Amino acid sequence: MDIVLNAIGLVFQPYVLLVIVCASLFGLFMGAIPGLSATMATALLVPITFFMDPVPALGAIIAASAMALFAGDIPAALLRMPGTPSSAAYVEDIYAMTQRGHAERALGACLIFSALGGVCGTVVLITTAPFLARVASNFSSFEYFWLASLGLTCAVIIFAEAPVKGFISLMIGMMLATIGTDITTGFPRFTFGSSDLAAGISFIPALIGLFALSEIIKFAAVNVQGAAIPRQAKGELFSHFLELARMYWPNALRGGVLGTVIGVLPGAGGGVATWISYAVSLRFKSEKRLKRIRAASTDDAADRMGGVVEATSANNASLGGAWVPLLVFGIPGDAITAIVIGVLFLQGIIPGPRVFVETPDLAYALFVVFLLSNLLLIPFGWVAIRSFNLIMQVPRPALMPVILILALVGAFAINNAAFDVLIMLALGVLAYIMEKNGFPIAPTVLGLVLAPIVEENLVVSLMKSQGNLLMFFERPVAAALGSIAILLWLMPILSRIYKALRLRTA
């Protein structure tokens, strides 16, 4: 109980609250601008959090990402332009409601159910993380090797529409992570005599390049102007909440649970959670229930709302879920938590089960920030919806040069090194070319983060086992994790064999 009170004391300080409020507004602004994602908002915040204590630093990131995830719904509803990739799943539904003059009703539902989904994810995080951390404290290098390998595997499986390109993107990230001094022999790898490269690719400048600079280059190449904002009926923002809650509570619950579970999977994230939840809502909609909803509903958008409620709940629930593997195993659940790993290291905190033993106050303070951010989402989201016209009046051609300078200063400020700016440029151009050619960027980031974990645990395990690979399966948890990973690797081959056999028998 003392820990919880200490944690509340750490968060409810004027400075920390001010940071959370500022980060929330920043997240709302970034999420509401189409093309600027929650990940980009997080990446741009990192250089600023470098100069803060751990609680305000991590609080800023949690608040900004939670707000940005919701804010992506605003331009999706009004302009049919999802502000973040996570909002893309249900953009057609909420835009269709806007066309009928019910934008406030759609956004009100998104806001409330995003907050509820976020609370659901946070409750799972609070209840499971300390327990899992106790289990994880018995893990050895063998279990961590398989866990990180599973994370890499999931990162590829998630991009099922282009698995080869997803895999190549992952390998590019892993290849980049091998640049620098080797931990076991001290030998400089792929440095070509450069002392700047001996320390490896700086993670934060790399992230800023991958997410921010690539987006600016993309914009410079196209320079799309904003569309006109349609006129909408007022006063519908929260007036239908009770009606929606009564009709769609199963969708909200299912979205919250599914979003949290998907968030926990390494390599997934809000985007995957929303798409899967949306698909589930379509697949399992009950005609009987729909008839009842149609009869009780006051508008003709009843059919669409189930999917919207389910997906938007899953969207914010995934955020809390993604922090479970981060805090418990030190393995990121998505691109945002991959960035958080960098922040934790910058703050001198090693993510993993030791966080709950060495800095329990910090761990519980993060839980408090999660709850606070999801509750703040409602008033701040309300302000954002109301002031959307104002936000959208900021022309993107004027915003992009300012973001460019923030990216440059941010990349430079981490180590005060000009070389980091060049790393940002190189990876920004690489990400632009990759995205243009259908290669997803998130696996590259996960490769950058997970490759050192995989390599370190592989080498330590090889040392322990003296090169005997069977020892990787001797411990029960390691054997289970290893079997799952190998099964997933063999899945494409097995499914082809299965299809061939079925064709032959048919």
Partner 1 sequence: MRVNDVVIGSILLVVSVSAAILASDFPSVPSRNFGAWTFPTVVACLLAASSAFLAIQGLITKTEPRRNSRPSRRAVINVLLVCLSPLFYVAVVPLAGFIPGVIAVIGTITYRLWGGMWRSATLAIVATLAVDMTFRGLLGVPLPEGLVTWTPW
Say which amino acid occupies 424: M
Query: Residue 424 CB, nearest distance to partner 1 (Å)?
Result: 6
Q: Which of 418, 480, 491, 494 binds partner 1 (CB under 8 A)?
A: 418
Within 10 angstroms of residue 483's Cβ, the number of other Cβ atoms is 12
Residues numbered 430-449 forming contacts with partner 1, rule: CB under 8 A: 432-433, 436-437
Residue 19 lies near partner 1 (rule: CB under 8 A): no
User: Which tokens is 27 given?
Assistant: 């997240």
Is the CB of 89 or the CB of 421 nearer to partner 1?
421
Query: Residue 181 CB, nearest distance to partner 1 (Å)?
Result: 9
Residue 459 lies near partner 1 (rule: CB under 8 A): yes
Q: Which stretch binds partner 1 (CB under 8 A): 54-62, 122-130, 217-225, 323-331?
A: 217-225
Distances (CA, A) of 215 to 35, 432, 500: 7, 7, 43
Look up tokens 């809000």; give the residue.
Answer: 270
User: Which tokens is 7 given?
Assistant: 């944690």
Within 10 angstroms of residue 410's Cβ, the number of other Cβ atoms is 24
Residue 18 lies near partner 1 (rule: CB under 8 A): no
User: Site map for partner 1, 276-315, x if CB under 8 A?
Assistant: ----------------------------------------
State the Cα–Cα distance between residues 85 and 334, nearest whole angstrom.
13
Within 10 angstroms of residue 225's Cβ, the number of other Cβ atoms is 7
Query: Residue 412 CB, nearest distance to partner 1 (Å)?
Result: 7
**DSSP secondary structure code for residue 90 in this structure:** G
Q: Which of 229, 406, 484, 488 binds partner 1 (CB under 8 A)?
A: 406
Q: Which of 11, 421, 453, 478 binds partner 1 (CB under 8 A)?
A: 421
Residue 124 lies near partner 1 (rule: CB under 8 A): no
Query: Residue 493 CB, nearest distance to partner 1 (Å)?
Result: 13
Residue 221 lies near partner 1 (rule: CB under 8 A): yes
Residue 164 lies near partner 1 (rule: CB under 8 A): yes
Query: 33 and 25 in contact (C-beta within 8 Å)?
Result: no
**Interface with partner 1: number of residues (CB under 8 A):** 60
Q: Which stretch binds partner 1 (CB under 8 A): 54-62, 124-132, 173-181, 472-480?
A: 173-181
Residue 323 lies near partner 1 (rule: CB under 8 A): no
Return the CA Rg of the chain.
23
Residue 198 lies near partner 1 (rule: CB under 8 A): no
Q: Which of 51, 161, 283, 470 binds partner 1 (CB under 8 A)?
A: 51
Q: Which of 9, 379, 397, 492 binds partner 1 (CB under 8 A)?
A: 397
Q: Which of 60, 424, 430, 485 binds partner 1 (CB under 8 A)?
A: 424
State the Cα–Cα distance between residues 425 and 213, nearest whole angstrom.
7
Q: Which of 99, 127, 137, 189 binds partner 1 (CB under 8 A)?
A: 189
Residue 3 lies near partner 1 (rule: CB under 8 A): no
Residue 429 lies near partner 1 (rule: CB under 8 A): yes
Q: Could you tell me which of 377, 367, 378 has the C-alpha nearest to residue 59?
A: 367
Instruction: Name, in order, each residue with C-beta under 8 angstroms of 296's C-beta and a sequence gap of 6 or more.
Output: 243, 247
Residue 195 lies near partner 1 (rule: CB under 8 A): no
Q: Which of 217, 237, 265, 366 binds partner 1 (CB under 8 A)?
A: 217
State the Cα–Cα distance between residues 471 and 461, nearest whole angstrom.
8
Instruction: Give a three-class secondary structure readout of 429-480.
Output: HHHHHHHHCCCCCHHHHHHHHHHHHHHHHHHHHHHHHCCCHHHHHCCHHHHH
Q: Could you tell me which of 303, 308, 290 has the C-alpha nearest to residue 108?
A: 308
State the Cα–Cα distance between residues 224 and 395, nearest whole angstrom.
10
Instruction: Name, in order, each residue with C-beta under 8 angstroms of 288's C-beta and a sequence gap of 6 or more.
Output: none
Mapped onto helix, strand or coil, the DSSP state of residue 181 is: strand
Residue 146 lies near partner 1 (rule: CB under 8 A): no
- With the CA atoms of 264, 270, 274 and 277 taken in that order, what torsion angle do they form, in degrees rounded to the nearest 10? 10
Which residues of the chain form contacts with partner 1 (CB under 8 A)? 48, 51, 164-165, 167-168, 171-172, 174-175, 178, 182, 184-185, 187, 189-190, 213, 216-217, 219-223, 395, 397-398, 400-402, 404-406, 408-409, 411-413, 416, 418, 421-422, 424-425, 428-429, 432-433, 436-437, 451, 454-455, 458-459, 462-463, 466-467
